[in-house]
Amino acid sequence: MGASGVTLVAGKGMNGYSNGGPTTAQFNNPAALAWYNASVMLVGDLDNYCIRTIDIPSKSSYLSVFSCVLFVMCVCPISYCLSAYSVGGFTRTLAGHPSRNFSLDGALATAGIGKPRSLAVVGDVIYWTDTVALTVRMMKNGMQ
């Protein structure tokens, strides 16, 4: 991205569910963002019932881009595209799956995440609001 302006961070531009590179990853109502560390962003994919990760090579260079994209998403949520556009950026699912549209504690591979509306990270613990179960939930060491 140049000096200023709005740039597509990533996403195919249609709702769906797929992990992948900057232009192939699909989301279905991305509703929350949080930094896990300097190179990994978390995305709460509300209507896919999962929490996704995006590899970002340089956190500082994308902070202003994400602020702009979030504003655009609030104004026009139909675009369904918020993922990672970066050199080598890749989106993958950390926990949850569209087929598990419920809240259920357990291993990351089988847990039901609900609809993650907001995310926060404290140390190695990820917290989110689950709008299916109307609770606040957490996972420890989710990225290891």
- Residue 44: pLDDT above 90? yes
Most confident range, picked from 1-15, 78-92, 111-125: 111-125
Is 56 in contact with 41 (CB distance < 8 Å)?
A: yes
- Residue 131: pLDDT above 60? yes
Q: Among 109, 123, 129, which residue's Cα sits nearest to residue 35?
A: 123
Domain membership flag for residue 77: yes
Overall average pLDDT of the 45-67 stretch: 71
pLDDT tens for each residue of 70-94: 332 322 233 333 333 333 478 899 9
Overall average pLDDT of the 23-48 stretch: 92
Q: Give the H or E element holding residue 36.
A: strand 30-37
Domain membership flag for residue 49: yes
Domain membership flag for residue 45: yes
pLDDT of residue 72: 29
Instruction: Report d(CA 74, CA 71) in Å as an integer.
Output: 5
Q: Provide the number of structural domains found in the chain.
A: 1
Q: Among 78, 89, 8, 6, which residue's Cα sits nearest to residue 52?
A: 89
pLDDT of residue 98: 93
- Residue 142: pLDDT above 80? no
Domain membership flag for residue 13: no
Domain membership flag for residue 132: yes
pLDDT of residue 143: 65
Which pTM was predicted?
0.75
Domain membership flag for residue 24: no
Tell which wins on pLDDT, 143 or 71: 143
Domain membership flag for residue 25: no
Domain membership flag for residue 38: yes
| Number of residues written out for the chain | 144
Q: Is 38 exposed, middle or buried (0-12, 13-18, 19+ CB in 10 A)?
A: exposed
Question: Which DSSP string do the residues of 70-88 spell out, in sequence order?
Answer: HHHHHH-GGG---S--STT
pLDDT of residue 112: 92
Helix (H/G/I), strand (E/B), else coil: 54: strand
Cα distances (angstroms) measured from residue 54 to each of 17, 20, 33, 38, 59: 14, 10, 10, 11, 11
Give the residue numbers spanning the domain of 81.
Answer: 30-140
pLDDT of residue 138: 94
